[in-house]
């Protein structure tokens, strides 16, 4: 399996599909508490259509090393930069889902946009998910405190309830006939493989303000979100973010849940392909 050694000696796992002869390259950053595998539907689709696709397991997640320190968005951005530099990727499209949206935004702030041509945010935590004076539609910090307490008390139970409920919107009566036990079990399994400390500390990245990161973007940006996202309120996410982007495009999925890359993959895949090759 391909790994790269980071500046602190940690091993970062990554996938690199269809690297030969591709004219476009997309680099994916996954959401909490998952791994690069969360992007398999998109990566298979795009690689089958001539796009080089790269995705990594964030440190502490999946197959990457479970480091005790550096489980924060600045270090995730630096890890991503090391991977991009190692593979000498250029003219790339960055794609971030949920927490991964914060990671790709912070990458452009800390490492510039010289290697990036476009950026995509899907159900992202930017510009600011936690409720505050500048983000009145955000999530009260007490909710995040309850997440942290639940993980420390009984992570397995909590990681059963999240995918069975709000993450994929399976708690909505309208989708009761579309509930996927396999998808729930997969989310649980991958999440439980991650470091408890990493998934615990990741929740603090949802309290970061990424407004300045977005304002600094000088490249085309696509923001995709479902209007029934129960994890990141759409008013605090997509609708707030689009106001900060110089070259932004907004795509709202009516009734879409937070995990739309799995619940509506066909539409997401087509939107990504059109944006990448457009």
pLDDT digits (tens, 9 = 90+) for 152-200: 999 999 999 999 999 999 999 999 889 999 999 999 999 999 999 999 9
Residue 144 has pLDDT above 80, yes or no: yes
Task: Specify the pLDDT at position 22.
Answer: 85
Does the pTM of the predicted model rise above 0.85?
yes
CATH code of the domain containing 271: 3.40.50.1820
Distance CA 160, CA 268 (A): 25
Given 40, 57, 229, 262, which residue is catalytic?
Answer: 229
Q: Which long-range contacts (C-beta less than 8 Å, at least 24 apart) are formed by 247-251?
A: 247/217, 247/218, 247/219, 247/220, 247/221, 248/220, 248/221, 248/222, 248/223, 249/220, 249/221, 249/222, 249/223, 249/275, 250/223, 251/222, 251/223, 251/224, 251/225
Task: Specify the pLDDT at position 85.
Answer: 98
Q: Which of 263, 236, 4, 255 shows the shortest CA–CA distance to 121?
A: 236
Residue 42 has pLDDT above 70, yes or no: yes
- Strand 11-17 relative to strand 92-97, pairing: unpaired
Task: Specify the pLDDT at position 20.
Answer: 87
Task: Specify the pLDDT at position 61.
Answer: 98
Full residue range of the structural domain in which residue 12 is found: 3-277
Distance CA 188, CA 168 (A): 13
* CA-angle at 227, arms to 221 and 228, nearest 5°: 135
Given 29, 35, 64, 98, which residue is catalytic?
Answer: 98
State the total domains in the chain.
1
Tokens 């702030």 -> residue: 109
Q: Considering the chain, what is the average pLDDT of its residues?
A: 97
Told to judge if 8 belongs to the known catalytic residues of this protein, a careful annotator would answer no
pLDDT tens-digit profile of 51-63? 999 999 999 999 9
Contact at 8 Å (CB) between 94 and 223? no
* Residue 155 phi, psi (nearest 5): -60, -40
Given 24, 30, 56, 258, which residue is catalytic?
Answer: 258
Distance CA 241, CA 225 (A): 11
Told to judge if 98 belongs to the known catalytic residues of this protein, a careful annotator would answer yes
Contact at 8 Å (CB) between 8 and 70? yes
Residue 1 has pLDDT above 80, yes or no: no
Tokens 């910090």 -> residue: 141
Tokens 């999240």 -> residue: 162
Contact at 8 Å (CB) between 131 and 138? yes
Told to judge if 57 belongs to the known catalytic residues of this protein, a careful annotator would answer no
Task: Specify the pLDDT at position 137.
Answer: 96
């Amino acid at each position: 399996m391909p790994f790269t050694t980071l500046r602190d000696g940690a091993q970062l796992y990554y996938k690199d599909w269809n690297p030969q002869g591709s004219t476009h390259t997309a680099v994916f950053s996954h959401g909490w508490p998952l791994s690069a595998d969360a992007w398999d539907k998109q990566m298979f689709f795009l690689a089958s259509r001539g796009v080089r696709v790269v995705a990594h397991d964030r440190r502490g997640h999946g197959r990457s090393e479970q480091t005790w320190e550096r489980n924060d968005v600045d270090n995730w951005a630096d890890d991503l930069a090391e991977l991009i530099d190692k593979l000498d990727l250029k003219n790339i499209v960055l794609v971030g889902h949920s927490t991964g949206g914060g990671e790709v935004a912070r990458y452009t702030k800390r490492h510039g946009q010289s290697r990036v041509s476009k950026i995509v945010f899907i159900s992202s935590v930017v510009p600011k998910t936690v409720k505050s004076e500048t983000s009145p539609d955000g999530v009260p910090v007490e909710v995040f405190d309850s997440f942290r307490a639940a993980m420390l008390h009984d992570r397995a139970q909590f990681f059963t309830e999240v995918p069975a409920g709000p993450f994929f919107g399976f708690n909505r009566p309208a989708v009761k006939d579309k509930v996927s036990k396999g998808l729930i079990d997969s989310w649980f399994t991958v999440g439980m493989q991650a470091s408890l400390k990493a998934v615990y500390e990741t929740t603090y990245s949802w309290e970061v303000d990424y407004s300045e990161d977005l304002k600094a973007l000088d490249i085309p940006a696509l923001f995709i979100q479902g209007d029934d996202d129960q994890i990141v309120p759409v008013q605090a996410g997509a609708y707030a973010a689009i106001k900060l982007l110089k070259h932004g495009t907004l795509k709202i999925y009516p009734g879409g849940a937070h995990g739309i890359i799995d619940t509506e993959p066909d539409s997401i895949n087509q939107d990504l392909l059109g944006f990448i090759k457009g």
